Amino acid sequence: MLWKTQHGCTSRASSLQAAQNLRWSAKGEGIFDNPNPDGWTYRANAYVYCPDGSCKKFSGPLISQSGTVTLDLYHYFDQSGSYSFEIELLTNDSSVRSECSETFEYQKPDIRLPKPMVSVNEAGIVSCTLAEGGEGYVLGTDYGFNYELWAGGKRVFQQGLNESSINFSGSMSLDYVVYVRVCTITRDVTKYADSEWSDMIPLNPGAASQEPAKTAWEFNPADWGLAADVLEQYIAYLEKQYAAQSTEVPAFTTDPQNAYDVTVENSEQGYLCYLAFKTVLGDYTIGRTYNICPSGMADSKARITLTIPQELQKAGRTFRMICVNEDGQPIVLADLDSASDTVTFETDAYCAFALVYKDSASAR
């Protein structure tokens, strides 16, 4: 594994160190210490062991500094009993799992937070207030809101915030109906339990002449009064989106001469981004989708070498990258190396990326 030195070159470290000093806060937050050096990116996943014997994975954040890290693991407390957790730290080419924490004894509170009242305005702003009985609760101290977007019977976005509103304007122009639902989430697990979910509310009800049934939330094309070509595109998008998903940590290297560092993450890309990919896709197929971001001002091109996931490698297959920049414009990035297991490209544009491939006639 490569670590950056003070002089900008690289040296090989002996091993990635496991998370240390795992402990619980009084409010059920999982806390640990990252003993690894600053300057490189680590993903921190948590595995929460529940009283019924199940294990729930928390896909944690990317961290780039040593020291204390806090995760809101109390959201996995859905029954009274003993909870413990482990931390898995991952980099581009290795991972290590910690020892297990001590237990947290959870007694589920009798008080459940009030269900939110949710409204959506024409600009796509979703706003929440607590229902009757919500007086006296403090936002950010006692509670927050968990926002979800649903489309085609699938949850496509989720975020918990200490904010009473969220801007979903980017989804207002889509050609299919997107729904939002919200629940009130506890910020003090010792006092309050999460509320029930709100009803599903259409974010852009004018996008289709007929809405899908609001009970089962299953994708039934007959219920979507869309033009045939739009419906076909949307179904293809869902298929591509979920086929390109991966939980693996992307393996990549960067040229030491680059003026800045970059991060590479697996990421689901939205419908409009998929349509932008499609305009330059040609006879290529989307294999993976990523978010690639610069660490500073992208005032020059950075050279990046991405390792192609094993399951996509195949004799006679060629690869390249497509970037959709912040203005929504697609840019094709050629593969600059001849290796069969990597794709090397240069870019000074960032946002959403797709790794795409094409098989030669003999490989089909």
pLDDT at residue number 219: 41
Residue 163 token pair: 């904010």
State whether the Cα torsion 72-74-78-81 is positive or negative. Answer: positive
Question: Strands 2-4 and 116-120, how do they pair?
Answer: unpaired
Contact at 8 Å (CB) between 248 and 308? no
Predicted TM-score (pTM) above 0.85: no
CB atoms within 10 A of CB 169: 13
Residue 150 token pair: 């649903």
3-state secondary structure of 2: strand
pLDDT at residue number 120: 93
Distance CA 117, CA 128 (A): 6
In whole angstroms, what separates CA 14 from the centre of its chain? 30
pLDDT at residue number 265: 86
CB atoms within 10 A of CB 99: 10
pLDDT at residue number 297: 81
Taking only the tens of pLDDT, the chain with its 364 residues reads 222 222 222 333 447 899 999 999 998 999 999 998 886 777 888 999 999 999 988 877 778 788 999 998 988 898 999 999 999 998 766 789 999 999 999 999 999 999 999 999 988 899 999 988 888 899 999 999 999 888 766 777 778 889 999 988 877 766 677 889 999 999 998 899 999 999 999 888 876 534 443 333 334 444 444 444 554 555 555 555 555 666 677 889 999 999 998 989 888 776 677 778 888 988 998 888 888 988 878 889 999 999 998 888 888 899 999 999 877 889 999 999 989 899 999 999 988 899 999 987 665 5
In whole angstroms, what separates CA 132 from the centre of its chain? 34
Contact at 8 Å (CB) between 155 and 148? yes
Contact at 8 Å (CB) between 137 and 170? no
pLDDT at residue number 133: 80
How many residues does this entry show for the chain?
364
